[in-house]
Amino acid sequence: MFSHKFSILFLLLPVILLFFICIFFIPILSNKYNFNVPNNYITIPTYSISSSGFCWPVPGYTTITSPYGYRTSPTYGASSFHAGIDIAANPGSYLVASLEGFISYVGFNGSGGYTIILENNTFTMMYCHVSPNFLVYPGQIVNQGQIIGQVGPKNVYGVPNNPYKDSNGNPTNGATTGPHLHFTLKKNSQAVNPLDYF
């Protein structure tokens, strides 16, 4: 009787051990597969999904400094029809994919400065004035809410033939007067007001 109980315990031991090993690795694996984050990240931003199925592109920042529509151009090269929204945010703030999709472009894109473009079959999302330290690459499939980049600095150096400069003559991250996210949303290639979708 004693030896029978003992052998059951002996058989269960590796199972129990395996269970604890699995529990230990779950957080590591979930971080690895859910988010594409830089090595030195501090916090993963939380996001919520709107009734239209979109999530806000720059978690934690909701101040719109320039809405969608006609405006007086704030700086050389900035359009008088503002085809997106400007969201004030500190440089380095994380940007997340508003929808699941694929990355169709990363690079310096004229007045948009360093830009990430995310697309699916219907929508195109342009993230402008971002950090040149891109966290995604063209062709990459990203999940909704996945970190794809960071808000960029006002000034960028080393871009060939960059015509955009601040009042001190320093080159800027596209047509911009300070760090922010410019977010353009297109539906079937037509710009729409992003705020109608959040």
Judged by beta carbon, residue 19 or residue 196, the one nearer Zn ion is 196
Shortest Å distance, C-beta 196 to Zn ion: 17
Q: Could you tell me if residue 73 is left (phi over 0), alpha (psi between -120 and 50 degrees) or otherwise beta? A: beta
Give the C-alpha distances (Å, rounded to integers) separating 44 from 89, 106, 173. Answer: 16, 22, 25
Is the separation of the CB atoms in 166 and 174 below 8 Å? no
Q: Is 182 near Zn ion (CB under 5 A)?
A: yes
For Zn ion, which stretch binds (CB under 5 A), given 10-18, 21-29, 80-88, 133-141? 80-88
Judged by beta carbon, residue 32 or residue 71, the one nearer Zn ion is 71
Residues 6+ apart with CB under 8 A from 73: 79, 80
Judged by beta carbon, residue 146 or residue 156, the one nearer Zn ion is 156
For Zn ion, which stretch binds (CB under 5 A), given 10-18, 98-106, 145-153, 179-187? 179-187
- DSSP code for 44: P
Q: Is 86 near Zn ion (CB under 5 A)?
A: yes
Chain residues 29-48 in contact with Zn ion, contact rule CB under 5 A: none
Is the separation of the CB atoms in 149 and 47 below 8 Å? no
Q: Is 131 near Zn ion (CB under 5 A)?
A: no
Residues found near Zn ion in the complex (CB under 5 A): 86, 182
